[in-house]
Structure 1
Amino acid sequence: MYVTLLGTGAPAGLPRPGCPCAACARALGDEARAATSLLVDGVLLLDVTPGAALAAARAGQSLHGVRQVLLGHAQEDRGPELPTELPAPVRLPDGRDLTLLSGHRVRAVPVDGPGTGYAVTGPDGGRLLYLPPGAAPARENAPGGPPFDLCVLDVAARPDGLALLRETGAAGLTTDVVAVHLDHDVPPGQERRRRLAAAGARAEPDGATLVAGDYQLVPDLPRRTLVLGGARSGKSAEAERRLAAFPGVEYVATGGRREGDAEWAERVAAHRGRRPPGWTTRETCDLVPLLAREDGPPLLIDCLALWLTDAMDAAGAWDGERWSSGPARAELAARTSALAAAVRATRRTLVAVSNETGSGVVPATPAGRRFRDELGRLNAAIAAECEQVLLTVAGTTLPLRA
C-alpha cells in the first residue's frame, strides 16, 4: 500500500498566513507545508484541502483514479471546493466499516476530540492508521494489535496518542510513525527532527510517498539520558517531553514535602499537573532499587540536585568539622558511587534531570560551595554512564552527547 502525503501541515498550513512568529519565518522550502491530506494507492483520499489536484501533480500523482474521499479534520463536511473529477467527501460514523471496489477496507476510529480517524487495510494486507489534528484515539475504543505498519498522526501536539497506541499494541517496534499536522508550536528544522526522533517518529516533506510495511531507519532511542540546565531553563519540560510518547512512565520526584511551605507546594502541584494521566508518581530519594528493576517502565528522575541534598543530609556533610575529618566525605562518595553504578547497570529507559552548576556566583558559605562542588562531581559521574547528555538554556536544548 502506497501513501502519498499531499500535505503534512496544520489545517491553516505552515507558515500560517500572516503569522510573524519565528517558526513561521523559518518554514521555507521543505519546511513549508500545506494542510494534511493523504492519497492511498491513488484511489482513496483522506482529507481534502485547497489545491489538492496541484499538490498531487507536484508529487507525480493524479486524482483521476480517486473513488472515495473521507473527511478526518474537524471541518465542515462539505470541505473546500473540490476538483470536478472527485466524488463528494463523506465522514464515516465512528466504528463504521467501508469496503472499496479496489479492495481497501476502512474503519472509522473514534478520537477524543473533534474529527474522525481512519484505519485502512490495503489489498496487499498493509495497514495504515490516520488520526486528525490535535486528536488521540478515544481510550475506550482505542485500536489494539497487531501493530499497524504505518501510523500517521499529530505526534508533536499529542504524543500521548502515540503512547496509547503503544500501550494497546497498535504501534510496535516495526511501526513506521510519521508526524503530520505540523504547526508553528515546534521550531522547524533540526529541533523538530530531534523532538520527533525522541518519540520514535519522523516527519516527511509534502509530496513524499511512503510504503506501508517498508523498513525505515529511525534513530534508536537512548536508554539513558541526562538533562542538565539552570533554574527555569526548561530542563524538566524537556525531560517530560522525551517520554511523553511512551506509556506507563514512572515519575520519581526527589523533592519530597516541605511542611508549611505554600510556595513549594505550588511548585509541586504545577509539576504534577502537566504530567500525562497514565504516569505514576513516586516520591523518594531511594533510587538504586528503582534502577535495579529489570521489568520496570521508563523512569524519569527529577531531580538529582535534590537527591544530593538528601544524601548530604544523611551523611552529615553540611557539618564542616565532620566533612573535614573524613566520615561525611567518605559516606557521600559511597552514595554517589552507588547511584552511578546503578545507572550503569540499569536495564530501564532512564531520563534524569539535574541542575547545571558552577556558571554563576560563587556561594558565600562553605556549605554552599561544598554543595556546588559535589553537584558538579555527581553530574559528571552520571553523565559518564549515559548515552545522551543534554543542556537546556532559555528553553533551548543543546546536545552535549548524542
Structure 2
Amino acid sequence: MELTLLGTGAPGGLPRPDCPCASCATAIGEDARASTSLLVDGALLLDLTPGIAFAAARAGHSLSGVRQVLLSHPQNGPALEVPAGLPAPGRVPDGRELALISGHRVRSVPVDAPGSGYEVTAPDAGHTGVPRPSGVPLRLLYLPPDCSPAGPVEGANGAASGPYAMVLLDVLGRPDALAKLRATGAVTATTDVIAVHIDHTIPQGPELQRQLAAAGARAVPDGETLHVGEYHAIPEPPRRTLVLGGARSGKSVEAERRLSAFPGVVYVATSGTREGDPEWAARIGTHRERRPSSWKTVETCDLVPLLAADGPPLLVDCLALWLTDAMDAVDAWDDHAWTRGGERALRERVDALASAFRETRRTVVAVSNEVGSGVVPATASGRRFRDELGRLNTRVADECEQVLLVTAGQALRLRG
C-alpha cells in the first residue's frame, strides 16, 4: 500500500489560528501541519479536511481516483466542502467491514471517544513488492485524535493477521493507546509507528522528534508518501536512561513520559511513607494520579534484585531517596560512624547498585536530583550527602546509554 499524508496535524491544524503560544509561533515550513488526512493508494481517503484537493496537488497526487471517503471523528468546525468528483463522506459502523471496488478492505475499530478507528488491509498482500510471511495480510491501523481502542484489537495476536505493518495515531496525546496496542501484540518492533494529529502542546522540530523516538515512533512532514510494510529504521529507545534535575524541574514528568507508551511498567517508589506529613502525602498522591492505570507500583529501596530479575520496564524514582535510605542504614550521618566503617559500607552499596545497572537486561529509567550547583550546605552531614549523591549519579550515569538533564521542564541530552 502507498500512503500519502495530506496532513498530519490536530483538527485545528498547526499553527492554530490566532494562537500566540511558542509552539505555534515556530511551526513554520515543514513544521506547519494541516489537519490529518490520509490518501491510500489513490483510492481511499481517510478524513476530509479543508483544502484537501490543493493538499493532494502539492503532494503530487490527484483525488480523481478516490472511490471512498471515510470520516474518523466528528467534524466540529465549519461545514466541510466536498470537492467536485469526490464521493460523499461516510463512516463504517463499529466492528463492520467494508470491501472497496479497489480491493481494499476497511474494518471499523471501536475507540473510547466519539469516532472510529480504521483498519485497512491491502488488496493483495502477495503482490505489494514488500516481503511478507505466507498468508499474512498487509494491514495498517489509523486512530482518530485523542483516541485509544475501546478494547483488544480483534485478531492482533492471531496467526493469520499478525501485527500491523503501520499504525498512525495520536502518539503524544494518547501514549496509552500505543501501550495497549503493544500489550496485545498489534504493535511490535517491526511496526512503523507514525505520529499524526500533532498539536501545539509539544514544541516542533528536534524536541518533537526526541519525544517520539523515546516512544519508538516518528513524524513526517505533510505531503510525505510512505510505503506500508517497508522497513524504516527508527532508533531503538535506550535501554537504560538516567534523568537528572533539580527540584520541580520536571525530571519525574520526563521520566514517566519516556515509558508512557509501553505496557506493564513497574514504578519503583523509593520514597516510602511519612506519617503525619500531609504535604508529603499530597506529593505522593500527585505522582500516583499521573501514572497510567496499567502500571504497577512497588515501594522499596532494594533495587538490586529488581534490576537482576527479568521483567517489564522499571521506572526508579528516585536515587536521591535511595541514597538517603542507604546512608541511614550505615549511620553515615554520624562523623564517628562514618570514619569507622560507614563510608566503606556505603561505597559497597553504591558499587552493588552500579553493577546491577551494568548487568541488568531490563529497560530502566532512573530519576535523581542534581545537587551541588548552588548553596553549600551548612552542616557536615549535608555536605556529605551532596558529595555522595554526586558520586552516585556519576556511577549510574556511566552505566546508562542515555543521560538527560532537565531544567525548567526542558530536557538537555548529555549522552546518547
Which TM-score band applies after superposition, normalised by the shorter structure?
A: over 0.9
Q: 1:143 to 1:370 in 2, by over 3 A?
A: farther
State the alpha-carbon separation in 1 of the partners of residues 7 and 202 from structure 2: 17
Q: Does 1:150 align with 2:187?
A: no
| Secondary structure of 2:315 counterpart | strand
State the alpha-carbon separation in 2 of the partners of residues 252 and 279 from structure 1: 10
Counterparts in 2 of 1:12-91, with a 5 A limit? 12-75=12-75, 80-91=80-91
Q: 1:117 to 1:143 in 2, by over 3 A?
A: farther
State the alpha-carbon separation in 1 of the partners of residues 348 and 247 from structure 2: 28
**Does structure 1 retain, via aligned residues, the 8 Å contact 2:153–2:181?**
no
- Counterpart of 1:333? 347
What do residues 120-151 of structure 1 show as CA deviations (whole Å, max 9, x unaligned)? 00113321100000111113556623110010
What do residues 20-70 of structure 1 show as CA deviations (whole Å, max 9, x unaligned)? 100000000000000000000000000010100000000011100000000
State the alpha-carbon separation in 2 of the partners of residues 208 and 349 from structure 1: 33
**Does structure 2 retain, via aligned residues, the 8 Å contact 1:110–1:137?**
yes
- Counterpart of 2:11? 11
| Secondary structure of 2:336 counterpart | helix
By how many angstroms is 1:279 displaced?
A: 0.3
- Counterpart of 1:323? 338
State the alpha-carbon separation in 1 of the partners of residues 205 and 345 from structure 2: 47
By how many angstroms is 1:364 displaced?
A: 0.6
| Secondary structure of 1:139 counterpart | coil
- Counterpart of 2:140? 128
What do residues 172-203 of structure 1 show as CA deviations (whole Å, max 9, x unaligned)? 11000000000000000100000000000000
State the alpha-carbon separation in 2 of the partners of residues 174 and 124 from structure 1: 20
**Runs of at least 4 residues off by over 3 Å:** 76-79, 140-143
- RMSD between aligned alpha carbons? 1.2
- Counterpart of 2:181? 165
By how many angstroms is 1:73 displaced?
A: 2.0
| Secondary structure of 1:381 counterpart | helix
State the alpha-carbon separation in 2 of the partners of residues 375 and 28 from structure 1: 43
Counterparts in 2 of 1:1-400, with a 5 A limit? 1-75=1-75, 80-125=80-125, 126-140=138-152, 144-145=156-157, 146-294=162-310, 296-325=311-340, 327-400=341-414
What percentage of aligned pairs have identical amino acids? 67
What do residues 217-266 of structure 1 show as CA deviations (whole Å, max 9, x unaligned)? 10111100000000000000000000000000000000000011110000
By how many angstroms is 1:99 displaced?
A: 0.3
State the alpha-carbon separation in 1 of the partners of residues 279 and 295 from structure 2: 24
State the alpha-carbon separation in 2 of the partners of residues 337 and 390 from structure 1: 22
Letter in 2 for 1:253: A
Of 102-111 and 70-79, deviating more is: 70-79
**Does structure 2 retain, via aligned residues, the 8 Å contact 1:78–1:89?**
no
- Unpaired runs of at least 5, structure 1: none
State the alpha-carbon separation in 2 of the partners of residues 161 and 114 from structure 1: 15
**Does structure 1 retain, via aligned residues, the 8 Å contact 2:153–2:186?**
no
**Does structure 2 retain, via aligned residues, the 8 Å contact 1:344–1:385?**
yes
Q: TM-score, normalised by structure 2?
A: 0.95
| Secondary structure of 2:362 counterpart | coil
